[in-house]
Structure 1
Amino acid sequence: MDVWLLFIPACLALNLTPGPDIFFVLSQALSTRRFAGFWAALGLGLSYLGHTLLAVIGLSALLMQSAMAFIVIKYLGAAYLLYLGWTCLHTAATLELLEVPSRDSRLQIFYRGLMVGLLNPKVALFFLAFLPQFVDQELGSVPVQLLILGAVFTLTATLCNGAYALLAQRLKRRLQGSKRASVIMNRLSGFIMMALGVRLIVM
């Protein structure tokens, strides 16, 4: 019980602090269809579960031991963010927000969130460093504890990202009637994602 009294507040503090994932959710909520931010949050959530599994089976340790593996994944993630940012800047020229009612558009947003999370090696290193701090070997299987901790972190992160998406959705509704505002939001989204890509490269 003492572990959870420390772990859950730590998760909330980390997840409520604005960072790359939150900015990505905001960018999606501002630039695409209704509830896009929630789909992006769900995609990121699935990536967190993926990193949890990597931490459990030890593959994340490869990123700490191999500088080349870290660099390759880092630049793949940066390139993907730059591509998404450029796409948003390009669509801003249409003078309207993208409102595609197809099912594929939701899946595409979900996929973006998933890839942004999976292609960020710092997330893998975070899971590898953060989760073990709350493991108690006397409480049983360490892999099972890591899975439970990772699942709880994923839940809190997804809820926090969803809350930010809701705030962005309300902002978008207020501005959606303005074509100029639509262009600004698309451009803002593009600049945010490209800035995240550059930040991933230089840090």
Structure 2
Amino acid sequence: MDPWLLFIPACLALNLTPGPDIFFVLSQAFSERRYAGLWAALGLGLSYLGHTLLAVIGLSALIMQSATAFMVIKYLGAAYLLYLGWNSLRSASAMTLPQAQNSGSIGRIFYRGLMVGLLNPKVALFFLAFLPQFIRQESGAVPLQLLTLGLVFTLTATLCNGAYGLLGQRLKRALQGRTRASVMMNRLSGAIMMALGVRLIM
């Protein structure tokens, strides 16, 4: 199967599922400044790009030294995805909407989004675990594959976060009380991450 047929839907499902980054974007969108959520999403997007570059550099250096070590990283990544998926399934519950924040200037909002993403070690771990699952030796240079996958993930994540940011005010009204929808989205995200982990192990 073409890895892109699995990668694109996985990116969209994971990025559309309410999580810490979307909660952050919504907290900015609920503030009084117009387009605050969009600027927060752009800041997060730049942080994803930074994590992509770090993952490419680190994993590429590892591959050059030892193909076995890279396989170990892939299996550890699969185990991490299983762990994340299991936690998502266990904690699937109604989404608690964040409170509106005093967002400040556009530059401050963008910088805040950048720092929230860059300083989150879970994001770095996710990139190291997620991207290698879609690498194929027959598809060419591994660093280029990693970079392409990371850029596509960054683009889809930024678009999804930006959509939440732009629709923040409407989402605040629409999501309140819709317990079942939130539970199903969390379960979908958990199932996808676990399926990715099982797919590699099998």
**Structure 2 stretches of 5 or more lacking a match?**
63-72, 74-97, 174-202
Task: Write the letter of the residue equivalent to 2:50.
Answer: G
Query: How many residues are matched?
Result: 137
Aligned-residue RMSD, C-alpha: 2.7
> Where do 1:120-131 residues align within 5 Å?
120-131=120-131
Q: Given that residues 164 and 171 in structure 2 are in contact (C-alpha distance below 8 angstroms), is that contact kept between their aligned partners in structure 1? A: no
Note if 1:15 corresponds to 2:15. Answer: yes
Q: 1:152 — aligned with what? A: 152
SS of the aligned residue for 1:33 comes to coil
Shift of 1:170: 4.0
Mapped to 1, the partners of 2:114 and 2:23 lie a distance apart of 15
Q: Given that residues 44 and 117 in structure 2 are in contact (C-alpha distance below 8 angstroms), is that contact kept between their aligned partners in structure 1? A: yes
Mapped to 1, the partners of 2:45 and 2:167 lie a distance apart of 18
Q: Identify if the C-alpha distance between structure 1 residues 54 and 170 changes in structure 2 by more than 3 Å, giving closer, same or farther.
A: same
Task: Write the letter of the residue equivalent to 1:154.
Answer: T
Mapped to 2, the partners of 1:28 and 1:150 lie a distance apart of 25
Q: 2:43 — aligned with what? A: 43
Mapped to 1, the partners of 2:2 and 2:142 lie a distance apart of 17
Task: Write the letter of the residue equivalent to 2:128.
Answer: L
Deviates more, 1:121-130 or 1:137-146: 137-146
Shift of 1:171: 6.0
Mapped to 1, the partners of 2:52 and 2:5 lie a distance apart of 20
> Where do 1:26-37 residues align within 5 Å?
26-37=26-37
Q: Given that residues 35 and 169 in structure 1 are in contact (C-alpha distance below 8 angstroms), is that contact kept between their aligned partners in structure 2? A: no
> Where do 1:164-203 residues align within 5 Å?
164-170=164-170
How big is each residue's C-alpha offset from its partner over 1:158-201, in whole Å with a ceiling of 9 and x where there is no partner?
A: 111111112214468x9xxxxxxxxxxxxxxxxxxxxxxxxxxx
Mapped to 2, the partners of 1:45 and 1:113 lie a distance apart of 8
Q: 1:193 — aligned with what? A: none
SS of the aligned residue for 1:18 comes to coil
Q: 1:189 — aligned with what? A: none
Deviates more, 1:115-124 or 1:157-166: 157-166
Tell me which stretches of 4 or more aligned residues in structure 1 moved more than 3 Å. Answer: 169-172
TM-score by length of 1: 0.61
Mapped to 1, the partners of 2:171 and 2:148 lie a distance apart of 35
